[in-house]
Amino acid sequence: MSEIATRCVQGGYTPKNGEPRQIPIIQSTTFKYDTSEDMGLLFDLKASGYFYTRLQNPTNDFVAAKICELEGGTAALLTSSGQAANFFAIFNLCSAGDHVVSSAAIYGGTYNLFAVTMKRMGIEFTFVSPDATDEELDAAFKPNTKAVFGETISNPSLDILDIERFAAAAHRHGVPLIIDNTFPTPINCRPFEWGCDIVTHSTTKYMDGHATSVGGAIIDSGKFNWDEHADIFPGLTTPDESYHGITYTKQFGQGAAYITKCVAQLMRDFGAIPSPHNSFLLNVGLESLHLRMQRHCQNAQAVAEYLDANPKVAWVNFSGLPNNKYYALAQKYMPNGTCGVVSFGLVGGRAAAERFMKELKVAIIATHVADAHSCCLHPANATHRQLSDAELEACGVKPDMIRFSVGIEDIKDILGDIENALKVV
């Protein structure tokens, strides 16, 4: 299927004669076999088939295959959340004593996972500015560096990652670039086309798109040659004693080694699988992703332009505005639009932000972004409320920042809502 809109609707699952048109929900923990020998071959990864849903499930696999097609990868895996996806994507390459270079402009939950929880596991992160020069990037690497991580569009600071430059830096040091592509989705940006090696998603956001199911995904481009860097990645290139002495690159090849290892080791041991029912809902969302993204981007552009022209608004951050710092990068990597999230501050600062948000009727206040419904959040008073103003600035969250996730309602209603709320500030 060559066109992405067709892949959104039909990818990942092709019913045979007489089979259901929609992906079936295989809500079963386990699968029946006639003999123990049949089962043994599955456990040894010598035959493919299902035996226990913690490891694999047909509904989950159909939906993973669709997301794999959308990103243009060779193998993919669904997880129970975006947090699990980012943890697995990195932990599949690292052990205690290893090091990762990460953009500092990332979702706060991911930052905490890296800087606090994974640090406790003995994995060290060096955070670099997404605007770091090549020299600054090179200086962040260490002999034990295993990966580079960033977000295509960072949440909530909305910085755009220069994917080609980050990929080149990672490859100069023999490691893959992992990108969280949650905000643009593969409709607006496919990082593999720019040199990225592994993509992750919080499918909770635009992919599900209707605020129904928390989920995540990891997709491998199949382009990173693990064997060429066998000394850096022994977990993929030498026998896994915890899995019958399998060498993943030898048995599954460059295209499937990374995801197979992730399933065989991390799903087996941590068990962060989505329920088949959630994967079914995710797929229903994916079927209209191409249409929804278009509308999110159109509406967000209109909101950003409206705010930018309003004297009560102190600043607007949206890379679709020509005056934005990241306009050129956005045009390069996402010429058809970036995402539906706009952030801004009011002339009246923090207090005005609260008054403004209270007045909104169409856009609800919610700790969420990127679904069909417009919503907004004042991070300094919600997700980041434990931080001082100085700490907020350091992580790219201005104290007066309103994060506005523009939905797919009629733009007249969204702009009318904003216009009305601005009257009280």
Token pair for 157: 């600071």
The beta-strand segments (E) located in 159-247 are 177-180, 198-202, 216-220
Q: How far is the CB of 336 from ligand PLP (least distance, A)?
A: 20
Is the CB of 152 or the CB of 260 nearer to ligand PLP? 152
Helices 289-308, 411-422: inter-axial angle, 10-degree rounding: 30
Q: How far is the CB of 138 from ligand PLP (least distance, A)?
A: 26
Q: How far is the CB of 358 from ligand PLP (least distance, A)?
A: 23
Q: How far is the CB of 155 from ligand PLP (least distance, A)?
A: 4
Is the CB of 12 or the CB of 216 nearer to ligand PLP? 216
Q: Footprint of ligand PLP on this chain (CB under 6 A)? A: 81-83, 86, 107, 109-110, 151, 155, 180, 182, 202, 204, 214, 216
Return the residue nearest ligand PLP (CB atom). Answer: 82
Is the CB of 204 or the CB of 265 nearer to ligand PLP? 204
197 Cα distance to chain centroid: 14
Burial 372-408 (b: 16+ CB within 10 A, else e): bbbbbbbbbeebbeebeeeebeebbbbbbbbbbbbbb
Q: How far is the CB of 403 from ligand PLP (least distance, A)?
A: 11
Q: How far is the CB of 6 from ligand PLP (least distance, A)?
A: 27
Q: How far is the CB of 238 from ligand PLP (least distance, A)?
A: 31
Is the CB of 173 or the CB of 378 nearer to ligand PLP? 378
CB 167 within 8 A of CB 196: yes
Residue among 198, 192, 127, 135 nearest 169 (CA): 135
Is the CB of 11 or the CB of 82 nearer to ligand PLP? 82
Is the CB of 114 or the CB of 252 nearer to ligand PLP? 114
Token pair for 194: 């720019």
Token pair for 417: 């809502």
* Cα–Cα distance measured from residue 407 to residue 413, given in angstroms and rounded to the nearest whole number: 11
* Cα–Cα distance measured from residue 59 to residue 80, given in angstroms and rounded to the nearest whole number: 14
Is the CB of 214 or the CB of 219 nearer to ligand PLP? 214
Phi, psi for residue 78 in degrees, rounded to 5: -95, 150
